[in-house]
Amino acid sequence: MRVVDLFAGCGGLSLGFQNAGFEIVGAVEFWDVALETYRVNFKHPIYKQDLSNFSSSINLIQPLLPDMIIGGPPCQDFSHAGKRIEAERAGLTGVFAEIVAKIKPRYFVMENVDRAKDSIAYAYAKNVFKKAGYGITEMTLNAAHCGVPQKRKRFFVLGILGGDDGFATTWLNEHQTQKETTIRDYFGSNVLGFDYYYRHPRNYNRRAIYSIDEPAPTMRGVNRPVPQGYPGHPLDPHPVDNTIRALTTLERSLIQTFPAGYKWVGSKTDIEQMIGNAVPVKLAEYVATCMAQYVVEVPDYSGFESWLHKTNYSDRVISDIISRLKRAYKIIEDDPNPTYLFILERTDAFLNIDSSVRSQIKKAVSLYIEYKFDMIARHHALKGL
């Protein structure tokens, strides 16, 4: 399953999908610091590209042959000051949808802030997805119910080409934890070495002291120390004294569920911004695990047929090969786990076929695998990889 991550940032969404077993074959980002941070943490390529340049973006992404496109367009599309942006092609959210509709991967996942679901920008994107033939699942997830020690609500749109709307709703609901994940739940009692910490409020009508026996509030893109003269708040669970401090940059990244060894590039301000912008890795992994339940290998019949023509097969032979490949896929669709072609030879429906027909089916599948590898090799040669 070949996945491309758009608006990849520092890599939270990519890492979650990678942890869930997906193959990330490429990512796209425009912010230099985030791009370099991503590059030092992953082996696959990341490309600098302004995705609002639609035609050049398609030329970059299409050769990657994505089966799935994932990404989180910038949330500025949904700011209160963003009405003008929403009116102009619905901002980068619309661009994400248009890229998906043009390339038509079998699957997509889009992530954004909770308020995105009611925006003009998302209404535009949803219309693009539907016109392109995608069945979609829309859901706001609280990261604290998905294995992340942080209250962070994010809106996800999951899409399958030719699928039904709401296909993943049941899974996403049933696999959330009843109890919110606290910092102590996630790290244990002695790892961080403190019980209370300071998180600067947007205004002093809100509390600023938090306990590790609750989820952290949403990690924002700024991280301020305790100011002199902080007046305290009636709901603070602990008074401000010399034991109270703000979280460190590393602690904030850990609460975003990045691994301790994740490498960060740039100034402290840049790193704090990347951490605040990121999709928590465990939240991404939760959504990726959900998508894995619906992944079925769908062959590229038209591209395969063109490749067979170039390989000098006759029309009649090509017709037979395509027919046998379709039969192979029909067999594995009947299997309880129709994810990979290697299960074909373990399937009763295949083993009960005449041996000569089995041989013909295996030949068709082998040719298709050869075709897929040839396409990947051509892409790598084109990109100089």
Q: Phi and psi dihedrals of 126, rounded to 5?
A: -60, -40
Q: What is the residue-wise DSSP string for 210-275?
A: EETTSPBPPP-S---PPPTT----TT-SS--STT--BPPHHHHHHHTT--TT----S-HHHHHHHH
Say if CB 290 and CB 158 are below 8 A apart: yes
For the annotated catalytic residues, the residue numbers are: 75
CA atoms within 13 A on the CB side of 68: 27
CA–centroid distance for 117 within its chain: 17
Cross-strand pairs, 209: 198
Whole-angstrom CA distances from 278 to 152, 193, 249, 338 are 11, 25, 13, 33
Task: Provide the 3-class DSSP secondary structure of residue 198.
Answer: strand
CA gap 22, 29 in Å, rounded:
19
- Cα 136–162–63 angle (5° rounding)? 95
Say if CB 43 and CB 36 are below 8 A apart: no
Cross-strand pairs, 211: 196
Please give the DSSP secondary-structure letter assigned to residue 181. Answer: P
Which of 362-371 are b and which e, b meaning 16 or more Cβ less than 10 Å from the residue's Cβ?
Answer: eebbebbeeb
Say if CB 27 and CB 47 are below 8 A apart: yes
